[in-house]
Amino acid sequence: MGKIKELQTSLANKIAAGEVVERPGSVVKELLENAIDAKATEINIEVEESGVSSIRVVDNGTGISEDDLDLVFHRHATSKLDNDDDLFHIRTLGFRGEALASISSVAKVTLKTCTDNAEGHEIYAENGAIINKKPAKAKRGTDIRVESLFYNTPARLKYIKSLYTELGKISDIINRMAMSHPDIRISLVADGKTIIHTNGSGKTNEVMAEIYGMKVAKDLVHISGDTSDYHLEGFVAKPEHSRSNKHYMSIFINGRYIKNFVLNKAILEGYHTLLTIGRYPICYINITMDPILVDVNVHPTKLEVRLSKEEQLYKLIVEKIQDAFKDKILIPHNDIDKINKKNKVLEQFEQQKIQFDQRAKDRLQKEQERQEEQQNEAIEDTSIQQEDYTEKSQSQDYIKEDNDSYQAQQRQALTELESSEELDLKVDYNDVVKDKVSNNPSRRVPYMEVVGQVHGTYIIAQNENGMFMIDQHAAQERIKYEHFRDKIGEVSNEVQNLLIPLTFHFSKDELIIIEQYKDELAKVGVKLEPFGGHDYIVDSYPVWFPKAEAEEIIKDMIEYVLEHKKVNISKIREEAAIMMSCKKSIKANHYLKNNEMADLVNQLRETEDPFTCPHGRPIIINFSNYELERLFKRIM
């Protein structure tokens, strides 16, 4: 008898569901996409216990006709594809016909639906099969409730995080959907409390204000651009609103949220030298293209896509982000009170979260121990079982109450914080320093008078708009970086010989890379000459290389090529310019005369990007007159 056999349908469905339904957020994502595809203008999501207990999604879309109800929970049954050619022209968010089938195989699903001028119907499904179907009163659209998620696959429940984490995942999914579809009113209610509510105005920046707050929203810069194949629209936040991870970089293709390493890299390249190393921007970018240029069918959750003409799109993103900040004043404002208050609130959140998680863990552990004792003793007494059920319910109620209490405290603190931010923004809107520069329109730093220096490190300057602190090392780094960057782009034949040639020994793998790119290295002034075997020498360098650091620069350039296993001439020039500017700039604790400080500030005003050093650190910080008076309690 053979060993190979066909899996049972129920088992196959559970295995397939593992790719699509990883957690409650996966269910919300699939149902939300279906509602959007149904042309809904209003979608309401309700969850209980972060979706583990119940998820309900109600929309006012086209609904499901009676003829289609028998196939709605079948695998690979879809209304969005007819033939092979349709797979390469996908304009909907869902198309595989896996969502409802996968969800119903690991949960109990009740679906009510109604189309225009038709009678409503209700379906109940379990284990991927329809159990009951009957007429029902229903509004136009679809109302679907998913209960007892993973009730028949308890091993999956082990990988569910805390209720706080799962609710965060759901909120994140809905936020991104709301950004890409601002014309749809979307709300999220968790355990009876409204978490998200958008107005459906069609304005993405209003949705971003709801998500990120008014402080970020008022510093968003609109970007737009076209090539022969791509249309780009979006908003990018000023560098001062950077974050510590890539989570806030949202990229959409034809309205679908995607993750793509190359496009993320393009965004960071657009912010080049405006962000500190290890910091990432807040941005929303939606790319519209012919569906034939993108393959969305390469990942089970459709998050990763494959693009055609990727390089063209990369250049478009870099160019538009750079253009967005080209004429903007990017001097960050000091706000000590707000920073201290925000840090205090975050610390409170963290403490509350730790306490909540620990209490939930202790109660669940006690519950498991009690169940194990009961199994070992094989207690069959009905009254005792009823008592155990009541205690278990009470334990779950305690956990839910803890979670409600924590979320209520969190919302109250955030409300207070946001209200204080809105109050401060009213002042920021009238702050003329953001719009006022010198008589020379090419200068983005306003004229200021130097008045002194602090610890030989920070230059103090002033004008009618307040006080400015300037990091002298960062300022000269920016000046010299732009000087060397231009010089590297004009490599000439004028060279200086090294007293002792530099010798490099390469392995076989490294030799292949060097042979391939040695001509490119020569274009930036590093000429490698064969010296027998796997050895090469460099015996000269361009005269504009700083003499003291010439050897180190040459070594670093070669190491850069070997590490990245490719040569990007512009990138090598950038790295070399950054390296040289850092080494040649004045350091901290170096005292300058007033005329030297004034000259440094004037040189900074002539640069293209005078707000950050090449590593992305801020050069200038502004203390407005209002902030100074508030610090000294002249105004309250």
**Which CATH number fits the domain that encloses residue 36?**
3.30.565.10
The tens digit of pLDDT for each residue in 166-192 reads 898 999 999 999 999 999 999 999 999
Judge contact between 459 and 586, C-beta under 8 A. Answer: no
* Lowest pLDDT segment from 94-108, 278-292, 334-348: 334-348
How far is the C-alpha of 421 from the C-alpha of 416, rounded, in Å?
Answer: 9
Please give the residue that has the higher pLDDT: either 286 or 400.
286
**pLDDT of 10:** 65
In a domain, 266, yes or no: yes
Q: Are residues 170 and 107 in the same domain?
A: yes
The stretch 528-541 carries a mean pLDDT of 86
Q: Are residues 185 and 243 in the same domain?
A: no
- Residue 459: domain span: 435-636
Confidence of residue 582 (pLDDT cuts 50, 70, 90): confident
Contacts of 587 (CB under 8 A, 6+ apart): 473
Tell me which of 197, 217, 236 is where a domain ends: 197
**pLDDT of 14:** 60
**pLDDT of 578:** 78
- Examine the pLDDT at 54 and tell me if it is beyond 80: yes
Q: Are residues 167 and 252 in the same domain?
A: no
In a domain, 594, yes or no: yes
- Examine the pLDDT at 310 and tell me if it is beyond 70: yes
* Lowest pLDDT segment from 105-119, 230-244, 274-288, 571-585: 571-585
How far is the C-alpha of 467 from the C-alpha of 627, rounded, in Å?
Answer: 10
**pLDDT of 615:** 86
Judge contact between 139 and 20, C-beta under 8 A. Answer: no
**pLDDT of 13:** 62
Judge contact between 281 and 242, C-beta under 8 A. Answer: yes
Confidence of residue 436 (pLDDT cuts 50, 70, 90): very low
The stretch 130-156 carries a mean pLDDT of 87
**What single-letter amino acid sits at 24?**
P
- For the domain that residue 532 is a member of, what is the CATH number? 3.30.1370.100
In a domain, 2, yes or no: no
Q: Classify 275 as helix, strand or coil.
A: coil
In a domain, 52, yes or no: yes
Q: Read off the tokens for 428.
A: 């920021």
The stretch 212-239 carries a mean pLDDT of 91
- Examine the pLDDT at 228 and tell me if it is beyond 50: yes
**pLDDT of 41:** 94
Q: How many domains does the chain have?
A: 4
Q: Are residues 316 and 245 in the same domain?
A: yes
Q: Classify 631 as helix, strand or coil.
A: helix
**pLDDT of 9:** 66
In a domain, 260, yes or no: yes
Q: Are residues 108 and 192 in the same domain?
A: yes
185-190 vs 42-48, strand pairing mode: parallel
In a domain, 4, yes or no: no
Strand partners, 288: 231
Query: Within 10 A of 125 (CB to CB), how many other CB atoms are there?
Result: 22
**pLDDT of 511:** 85
**pLDDT of 112:** 92
Question: pTM of whole model > 0.85?
Answer: no
- Examine the pLDDT at 412 and tell me if it is beyond 70: no
* Lowest pLDDT segment from 280-284, 315-319, 395-399, 538-542: 395-399
Q: Are residues 321 and 377 in the same domain?
A: no
Tell me which of 398, 413, 429 is where a domain ends: 429
CA distances from 341 to 345, 346, 385, 510, 635 (A): 6, 9, 50, 53, 19
CA distances from 624 to 242, 331, 452, 620 (A): 22, 11, 18, 13
Query: Within 10 A of 64 (CB to CB), how many other CB atoms are there?
Result: 23
Judge contact between 258 and 176, C-beta under 8 A. Answer: no
How far is the C-alpha of 134 from the C-alpha of 129, rounded, in Å?
Answer: 15
How far is the C-alpha of 274 from the C-alpha of 236, rounded, in Å?
Answer: 13
Q: Are residues 144 and 222 in the same domain?
A: no
Kindly provide the b/e burial profile for residues 448-460, where b requires at least 16 CB atoms within 10 angstroms of the residue's own CB.
bebeebeeebbbb
How far is the C-alpha of 241 from the C-alpha of 326, rounded, in Å?
Answer: 17
Q: Are residues 557 and 580 in the same domain?
A: yes
**pLDDT of 172:** 92
How far is the C-alpha of 187 from the C-alpha of 175, rounded, in Å?
Answer: 10
121-126 vs 108-114, strand pairing mode: antiparallel
**pLDDT of 215:** 87
The tens digit of pLDDT for each residue in 337-353 reads 454 554 555 555 556 55
Tell me which of 275, 302, 325 is where a domain ends: 325
* Lowest pLDDT segment from 298-302, 382-386, 407-411: 382-386
Q: Are residues 446 and 317 in the same domain?
A: no
Confidence of residue 101 (pLDDT cuts 50, 70, 90): confident
Q: Are residues 115 and 172 in the same domain?
A: yes
- Examine the pLDDT at 236 and tell me if it is beyond 90: yes
Please give the residue that has the higher pLDDT: either 630 or 454.
454
- For the domain that residue 264 is a member of, what is the CATH number? 3.30.230.10
- Examine the pLDDT at 79 and tell me if it is beyond 50: yes
The tens digit of pLDDT for each residue in 590-604 reads 888 989 999 999 999
Mean per-residue pLDDT over the chain, rounded: 78
Q: Are residues 420 and 451 in the same domain?
A: no
In a domain, 330, yes or no: no
Q: Read off the tokens for 345.
A: 């609130």
Q: Are residues 20 and 45 in the same domain?
A: yes
Please give the residue that has the higher pLDDT: either 301 or 32.
32
- Examine the pLDDT at 83 and tell me if it is beyond 80: no
The tens digit of pLDDT for each residue in 547-570 reads 666 777 778 778 878 877 665 666
| Axis-axis angle for helices 336-377, 382-429 (nearest 10) | 170
The stretch 363-386 carries a mean pLDDT of 58
Please give the residue that has the higher pLDDT: either 489 or 436.
489
In a domain, 81, yes or no: yes
**pLDDT of 417:** 43
